[in-house]
Amino acid sequence: MFGKILIANRGEIACRIARTAQRMGVATVMVYSDADAAALHVRGAPQAIRLGASPAAASYLDGAKVIAAALASGAQAVHPGYGFLSENADFAQACAAAGLTFIGPSVDAIRMMGSKSAAKKLMASHAVPLVPGYYGEDQNPALLAAAAVDMGFPVLIKASAGGGGRGMRVVRAAAEFAPALASAQRESLSAFADARVLLEKYIERPRHIEVQIFGDQHGNLVHLFERDCSLQRRHQKVIEEAPALNLTPAQRATLYAAATAAGRAVNYVGAGTVEFVVAPDGAIYFIEMNTRLQVEHPVTEAITGLDLVEWQLRVAAGEPLPLAQSAIGQRGHAIEVRVYAEDPAQDFRPSVGQIVHARLPAASAQVRVETGVASGDSVSPWYDAMVAKLIVQAENRPSALRLMAHTLRETELAGVNSNLVYLRRIIEHPDYAAGDFTTHFAEEQKAQLLPTPGAPPNRVLLLAVAAVLRGRDQAAMTASPWALADSFRLNHTRCERLSFRHGEALINLTLHQHRSGPRVGLPDSSQVELRAVPAPDGRFQLDIGAQQIHARVVQRGELLEIFDAGERWVLGLIDPLQRTDEDEIATGSLLAPMPGAITAVLVAVGDVVRRGQPLLVLEAMKIEHTITAPCDGTVSELYFLQGQQVTQEGAELVRVAPAIPPPAAAV
């Protein structure tokens, strides 16, 4: 076994690999980019080496730097994780040349399977069922168009070097073919530096089933059953489970036989995944093989009780597979969800910025949490926005679904948007629960999974008011008594108006101070007593009538994120007193309060503006922030255009040169 390995990855998978290695007594070395200098995978590491600047090409994708780091650290082997260099045959070869063991299959196997076309030709000669298609080298557009017509529409154009659903286009009629081909080639060239495509018959409403295989250097090869990864969005997996539903014993036998045949065809060593689509008529077709550990490997670990990273290390070190096929069993049902920092309401745009609060579920024998972030960490624009995976395991699928819904309700992320609520809606969807879903589910059920947000219920508004009052109390404790000069505190008989923004809507509430305590006038004209006390876990205990609720409010400036009953509400407090920051007035520079998108630029350089005049509108977490002139003056710099993303909190947006005050009159 190796004494030390280098983990050439980041985030949850780097942490996960290190855990197994350390359990086996194998020392680990992490690598990082500038953006990740303080990331979770680095913070806890006994040894970490800087690779370079933040772009992946300058760090995690730079094989020469990774190899130099491994040699400098005295590591004997490199674990590539998934993504980045994991399926890069040249990197695997360079590792070998440098005397390092690449923890993965042989260079030849990676090369062979790296091209979808080459893999298909190989599979065809080994009796693995293929989707009908064109896998040829000749990329003449006229020939491709003719092949598509021969196959019959719909046809799927795929990037030969593809991955992650990129470079893929569904074509439903001959007239659409040429533009779809051009756009698939463009995308493929920019993503994979390779414009070659293949064509496949597009199978309508299929399921995606894949088989985990494992081989060793002694000619042994086994399968570890299948995973169902049909729950996808734009051809990318969102939820995975094992075992797959609704497969007949004959279908299972076909899948396992085809997968192991695929592995044997390339003398496969290490962990690999053979992917298939299953058509509605039950026909099974090979689509590709991934020559690495998959994101979704934990569901296989859950049902088999095995540690696939341990197997990878043993096999790479030359040991035989720990178990024979007959000794590998499966039990119960496991489900994994991928938690992304993204905004489902904005077409799943990645949501960058600081995670100001992260509450992840407690791990147990049935709940596994794989994360690469903690409270206070940032989601950077440089890499994939997956921040965690939640995996549950139970004796059967209904129990696993119940547990996953509960686990998702227990998970909170504030400061960035996430797909947590979206995931829970899928898990709780009756068709998903009934096992009635295909790869088209997310698209077909969009309306139910992405409901237009309604008005926040009264309990959420009460929580918002409670948080505002808590904020004032905290300010009063730390600031001077003069900070208390608000109508609410000074005059107990007066009523105060509190306004919040929720998306486009404005919500006006009234706050009345009675002898018995505060009362809130709600939009439905009712008035209720506010009975909210901070609970020891940082949440609020809110009493409404006989009902007691526990919910969290995370407040950052004027932005309130309320986590209640598995839903997240974002409200913006409208401060009636315009803030004037002395520093800002002095320099006239205006900074982004948080990352977001510039939705409007209301002035041009050279414009003369008055203090308080709106200059820009920044939208973050569905709330618009209007950036106003801190003083009278002239707009001297504009750093962003309409539609641009501001990725850094505190980035300078616009600068106003203060007007020179007229000379004071002589006295």
Catalytic residue positions?
Answer: 292
User: E strands of 362-466, at which residues?
Assistant: 367-371, 378-379, 386-394, 412-414
Least distance from C-beta 161 to ligand ADP, angstroms? 9
DSSP H or E stretch at residue 562: strand 559-564
Least distance from C-beta 268 to ligand ADP, angstroms? 18
The answer to whether 111 contacts ligand ADP (rule: CB under 6 A) is no
Sequence-distant (6+) residues with CB within 8 A of 427 are 239, 335, 337, 401, 404, 405, 408, 433
The answer to whether 439 contacts ligand ADP (rule: CB under 6 A) is yes
Which one of 28, 86, 101, 232 is in contact with ligand ADP (CB under 6 A)? 232
Q: How many residues interact with ligand ADP (rule CB under 6 A)?
A: 19
Least distance from C-beta 541 to ligand ADP, angstroms? 45
Which one of 52, 55, 129, 164 is in contact with ligand ADP (CB under 6 A)? 164
The answer to whether 163 contacts ligand ADP (rule: CB under 6 A) is yes
The answer to whether 202 contacts ligand ADP (rule: CB under 6 A) is yes
Least distance from C-beta 439 to ligand ADP, angstroms? 4
Nearer to ligand ADP, 445 or 634 (CB): 445
Q: Residue 456's Cα: distance from chain center in Å?
A: 26
Nearer to ligand ADP, 443 or 575 (CB): 443
> Both tokens of residue 42?
């680095």
Sign of CA dihedral 70, 71, 75, 80: positive
Least distance from C-beta 440 to ligand ADP, angstroms? 9
Amino acid identity at 391: I
Nearer to ligand ADP, 293 or 414 (CB): 293
Other Cβ atoms less than 10 A from the Cβ of 106: the count is 21
What are the Cα distances from residue 362, in Å, to 370, 406, 407? 11, 12, 9
DSSP H or E stretch at residue 180: helix 174-192
Which one of 216, 240, 275, 384 is in contact with ligand ADP (CB under 6 A)? 275
Least distance from C-beta 9 to ligand ADP, angstroms? 19
Binders in 234-273 for ligand ADP, by CB under 6 A: 235
What are the Cα distances from residue 386, in Å, to 97, 389, 502? 33, 8, 26
The answer to whether 165 contacts ligand ADP (rule: CB under 6 A) is yes
The answer to whether 653 contacts ligand ADP (rule: CB under 6 A) is no
Other Cβ atoms less than 10 A from the Cβ of 4: the count is 17
Nearer to ligand ADP, 204 or 575 (CB): 204
Inter-residue contact 214 to 272 (CB < 8 Å): yes
Supply the Cα-derived Rg of the chain in whole angstroms.
28
Burial, 279: exposed, middle or buried (Cβ in 10 Å; 0-12, 13-18, 19+)?
A: middle
- Between strands 270-278 and 207-215, the pairing is antiparallel
The answer to whether 131 contacts ligand ADP (rule: CB under 6 A) is yes
Q: What track of x and - describes contact with ligand ADP for positions 360 through 399 (by CB under 6 A)?
A: ----------------------------------------
What are the Cα distances from residue 462, in Å, to 62, 175, 541? 52, 57, 11
Least distance from C-beta 138 to ligand ADP, angstroms? 20
The answer to whether 287 contacts ligand ADP (rule: CB under 6 A) is yes
Nearer to ligand ADP, 191 or 549 (CB): 191
Other Cβ atoms less than 10 A from the Cβ of 504: the count is 8
Which one of 63, 104, 206, 596 is in contact with ligand ADP (CB under 6 A)? 206
Nearer to ligand ADP, 158 or 568 (CB): 158
The answer to whether 288 contacts ligand ADP (rule: CB under 6 A) is yes
DSSP H or E stretch at residue 521: strand 517-521
Least distance from C-beta 124 to ligand ADP, angstroms? 15
Nearer to ligand ADP, 43 or 235 (CB): 235
Q: With CB under 6 A as the contact rule, which of the stretches 140-148, 162-170, 248-256, 640-648 interacts with ligand ADP? A: 162-170
Nearer to ligand ADP, 145 or 191 (CB): 191
Nearer to ligand ADP, 232 or 254 (CB): 232
The answer to whether 521 contacts ligand ADP (rule: CB under 6 A) is no
Instruction: Give the closest residue to 28 by CA, choosing from 89, 69, 87.
Output: 69
Annotate 287-312 with b (16+ C-beta within 10 A) or e (fewer).
bbbbbbbbbbbbbbbbbbebbbbbbb
Residues at the site binding ligand ADP, with contacts judged by CB under 6 A: 131, 156, 158, 162-165, 200, 202-203, 206, 208, 232, 235, 275, 277, 287-288, 439
